[in-house]
Amino acid sequence: MQKPSKATRPIKTAEGHAFKEAFMLMKYVSKDGKTVETVWNSRDGVSPFMLGARDVDVSLDTMLQHAHWGSDIYAPYHVPNVGDRVFVDATEETERPKCEAYLDREWDGKTLDCQAPPGEVVDPKIAREQLIDELLKESLKPGAPAAVVVTAKMQAAIYAKIVEVERNMMQARGSKR
């Protein structure tokens, strides 16, 4: 039997995760170095190399880049503050507003990559929804990250999950005695 190649063999980190950036606190820095944001990856999934700065129209000048990779901090029990951003798995709820904002900013409402056959008119409302659906397909690939702002409800859920994990670990230790 042939041994699987490195490309197909599942690789685990020392902590047993599939991805090196799992549960890491990571610094993102603007090109000019004036904006620095620490973002927690709340899952065992990939994180983006670039992240849009908060409350700013997206352009290359407002992008933050993952910096100082060697300084990322493994923090599986981190409880982020309300208002912090964290990476979660992308969902239609997290991505639809971004796709809509992108179209509002970039699409003239008329020109399409695929024009209607001669003599037919494309309804801009229908075309817009089709374009959003296409953008969503790209945004919602399995494991795709989304940066979201932590709410009080989200913070409470993260804390409750940590308490549950610790309780289960204590029970497991107790049953081994």
CA distance 2 to 18: 23
Taking a C-beta distance cutoff of 8 angstroms, is the pair 90, 139 a contact? yes
pLDDT at residue 114 tops 70: no
pLDDT: which is higher, 162 or 103: 162
pLDDT: which is higher, 93 or 8: 93
111-132: buried (b, 16+ CB within 10 Å) or exposed (e) per residue?
A: eeeeeeeeeeebeeeebbeebb
What pLDDT does 101 receive?
85
Taking a C-beta distance cutoff of 8 angstroms, is the pair 68, 24 a contact? no
DSSP state of 9: S
Of 39-43, 54-58, 61-65, the poorest mean pLDDT is in 54-58
Token readout for 127 is 């075309």
Helices (H) and strands (E) in the chain, counts: 3, 7
pLDDT band at 1 (very low <50, low <70, confident <90, very high): very low
